[in-house]
Structure 1
């Protein structure tokens, strides 16, 4: 049709999330349905985000995707599942008589380019931000306005939590088709403005075992994982929701650490055992416990953000120790450690054990970028040259 645009382009961003009650294990591998519910904190996109551009055109001959400048296999099953679901929802919307906001055929192929501003596959939920951003961007290109939990979840389970800002629950659901396995916001990002999150980058290398393989092995071999999912997580979800709504950092920090410990216990209970903690990660955990013991209350909580080499620590406001060589993100006022606190911590520094620190806070969900200059794809539908 002469009225059709030769190419329609949309660019969006989506955040990283860190679980404080963790998801580990699936009851359905294809639909990615979890064996327990989970709850997460959405991190601010000023520090951590995925940016995705999607373009559809009658001139494209095939679907294509680029990640961090490199073309990837568009035939990956999880990627195809997301594309199929978005196109199904778009056809459903059109068949229900809704006015199509884009006069484009659903048969048009799509080009996608995505970039992360943090290490990919290093343990900081890169797949969660990536698939949330993909689902959100594709929905806007194809005119889909329904809940996207199922679309994002089909790419990466925890991606459905990155569809919202603030504090987010992913309900495990009960239906075999997964229609009730969705995410919803517990509290907005404005609810707890003084909460700060430090990401201590221990390693930017890839994980020793990916989450998908690790989860499957745990489900098959860990009796502790089954007990955790059925007997412990429901009460922890209720208690964590209370902590957030009442801004009870004492209980919030402690429960975050206990749940992280239990996650690692289930990994060790897996056969053969899985270990995602490095020696540096263990030292960080020990340091946080000694720090809290010195102050007589929980001022910091530590927990692995996702299986891998990065650690998340939550602080309930106040000044944080910093080093200009390592600190990125939010500005942080440095403080000098007193001799008393140094003695209480009782740990000598290990140079090079932490690569850098990202200081961030609770942030919003996905955003649409209206500036055409933000597009990762050019007018020809191909990635723009690197600046």
Structure 2
């Protein structure tokens, strides 16, 4: 059995300027541009092996050991685009093996909870697109590949880059100008770090896609956000990143998180992604910043209750020692030790993840398939 294969790891990204709402559901075109930070793959990553063979009877996908449906319109749109690009390569070079029409076996593993508001679909589709692109030996223009990843999961397009990433919404109806670009590399601001407080690793009540559709349809605040607030904030946030202006970056990040959850609440019926624990974390970060007389920590919440808190390395002990007071008995602190105060403990956090800014997808030797083309 001849099996062609390639393995890639891809990162999670967490938006600081949120994407919420689609202007075209099929092409996954957003109603506004967004900005994100790519997190380190040492802590959060998807590993995917893509393989093809003339012996494979059908396209198959295994995620975290379970057989998953590969026939969804989104996934099929991505596979169609990638196969077309490979076919064009084969047409232009007769020496290339004809693999564009072979069935695929794809095996994928996350090292973090899936569908719990930790951007698993972003890392997952970024790894899927990148591994097949490597398998097919496609030109690695990540902005071009991001247009394919976008069709699978909007935020996945941002996980094709490391550092700080913008997803430009674009204006064309066919989506050709809706793509991700790098604002600044990992080396621009390497001291940026993050702590994630995993408030829930359960599947969320309202999936992002249906939540977006409801917001676009019913929220009056949403239209004000995308027309008046986001365009200006997009430029301000890019500037704060390029200037490494943490207080401004923090203010914009927290305001945008608050407004995103406000438009969810303004949907009818309302969508609740934050819970009581999330709200206590917001108050804790506000207290830390108030005590320091300036923002040294920035919380942000995606479509789930988990908190991602950005900070600069120079303020690490100040911030972590305060957070430790409330969550010091939770797993994930590694070798960090501060004073834990049992009487101040906040319940509802199951895990702490200490991480930092990270790089984009990378090819690896590790393979998830055996010599029969099945998961190991």
Kindly state the Cα deviation for residue 151 of structure 1 after the two structures are TM-superposed. 1.2
Mapping for residues 308-387 of structure 1, pairs under 5 Å: 308-317=304-313, 318-319=316-317, 320-321=320-321, 322=324, 325-328=329-332, 333-336=336-339, 348-350=344-346, 352-369=347-364, 371=365, 374-384=366-376
- Alignment match of 1:249 (pick from 231, 246, 250): 246
Selected match of 2:125 from 113, 118, 131: 131
CA contact (8 A) 2:77 2:152 kept: yes
The answer on whether the counterparts of 1:79 and 1:155 sit within 8 Å (CA) in structure 2 is yes
Give the equivalent residue in structure 2 for 1:84: 80
> Would you say the 8 A contact 2:43–2:353 is kept in 1?
yes
Q: Is the 8 A contact 1:328 1:359 kept in 2?
A: yes
| Contact 1:195 1:361 survives alignment (8 Å) | yes
Equivalent residues in 2 for 1:166-177, closer than 5 Å: 166-177=163-174
CA contact (8 A) 1:267 1:275 kept: yes
1:199 aligns with 2:196: yes
1:66 aligns to what?
62
CA contact (8 A) 1:54 1:137 kept: yes
Q: In 2, Cα distance between the equivalents of 1:32 and 1:163?
A: 16
Q: Which TM-score applies when normalising by structure 1?
A: 0.91
Structure 1 distance, partners of 2:146, 2:88, is 17
Partners of 1:332 and 1:23 in 2: CA distance: 35
Give, in whole Å, the separation in 2 of the partners of 1:354 and 1:181. Answer: 36
Q: Structure 2: any 5+ residue segments left out of the alignment?
A: none
Aligned residue number for residue 274 of structure 2: 277
TM-score (norm 2): 0.93
Unaligned runs of 5+ in 1: none
Aligned length: 364
What is the distance in 2 between the residues matched to 1:217 and 1:31?
Answer: 18
* Structural mapping, 1:144-163, within 5 Å: 144-145=138-139, 146=141, 147-163=144-160
Give, in angstroms, the shift of residue 99 of structure 1: 6.7
Compared CA separation, residues 225 and 201, structure 1 to 2 (3 A) = same
Q: CA deviation at 1:105?
A: 3.0
**Aligned partner of 1:22 among 6, 18, 38:** 18
The C-alpha deviation readout for 1:185-239, integer Å capped at 9, x for no partner, is: 0001111121110110001001110000000010111121111111111111111
Match status 1:115 vs 2:103: no
Q: Would you say the 8 A contact 2:84–2:100 is kept in 1? A: no
Deviations 1:75-104 (A, max 9, x none): 111111111110112123334x2576x513
Instruction: Indicate conservation of the 8 Å contact 2:39/2:355, yes or no.
Output: yes
